[in-house]
Each structure stands twice: as structure tokens, then as C-alpha cells.
Amino acid sequence: MLTVDKIRNLMIFAGLDDEELATIAEQLELETFEKDDLVFNEGDTGDKFYIVDEGMVSISLDIEGIGSEELIYLERPAVFGEMALIDAAPRSASAICRKPTKLLSLNKSSFEKLLEENIGLGNKMMISFIRIFCSRIRKSNDKLRNYFLINRAWG
């Protein structure tokens, strides 16, 4: 079982007290991957959220006619795959380990149980996810803005 100290300083759990952290730590699983192991593929059914504990994971998209495009490299304490806990849509990107990697995972059924059994903890987790979503949307908007500026300059 994971200890509270292992997750205490992760931004995703900011604002949680020791009892809430212990509740989450009980639900997290440690998964080990080798370099180049696939965590999940774009289009797969999503059923887990991940926290990078050690190593590195790249998130990539398959772009028709171009190939695979790596979007970001994630290291501790980055999180990914959280959309799988919120909706039932297929994975929107692929996740591949770029080094030997240890991930902490929370599966969808455990997350839903947390939401049902502890409304306060569930609300705090959902607020953390919303902050992550907002940050990623802002970064995507900046990238899109730069893309159009570059195209206009060359166009």
C-alpha cells in the first residue's frame, strides 16, 4: 500500500488533509513499465488515471498522412489520462514510456466509489481536474494562436 507521504506534495492533491490523502492512497496502484512500453493507445477505452512517480511518459497523437506527433513529455509529478475518469470517450492520445517508469494509477470504479462515499473529497478532486483541464486548454490555445501567426506570416 502507498503511503500518504508519497502523494502529499502532488498538486493534484493540494488542499487534501491526511485522512483524505490516506483514502486516496488506499485506492492507488503502482504500475511498472519498461522503456518503450505502451501505457495506452489512442482510441483505447479509458479506465484509469495516472500519476508519473518515476521515469518519463510521452503523449502523442497519430496524424493522418504525417504519422505520430509527440505532444509532451511528462515526468514526476505530472498526471495524465484523467479524462477517462470523467467521460466514456476513447483515449484521445497515446502514452508511451520513454524510460523505465513507475506510475500510480486510479481506476474509474475506485474513483466513482470515492465520489459516492466522500462528497467533499470528490468535489476537491473534481476541482483539481478542472484546473488541469483549464491549464491544458490555455496551452492548446497558445499553440493554436502561434500556429495561425506563423501561417499568416508565411501565407
pLDDT of res. 80 = 94
155 pLDDT tier (thresholds 50, 70, 90) = low
Mean of per-residue pLDDT scores for the chain: 91
The domain limits of the chain are: 4-154
pTM above 0.95, yes or no: no
Domain 4-154 has CATH 3.40.50.450: no
Residue 144: HSE in the Cβ half-sphere, 13 Å Cα cutoff: 6
Cα 70 from Cα 48, distance rounded (Å): 21
d(CA 30, CA 142): 34
Backbone φ/ψ region at 46: left (φ over 0), alpha (ψ -120 to 50), beta? beta
> Which stretch of DSSP H or E encloses residue 13?
none
Asked whether the predicted pLDDT for residue 3 surpasses 80, the reply is: no
Q: What is the pLDDT of residues 41-57, one digit of tens each?
A: 999 999 999 999 999 99
Angle between helices 108-117 and 119-154 (to 10 degrees): 130
Rounded Cα distance, 28 and 78, in Å: 15
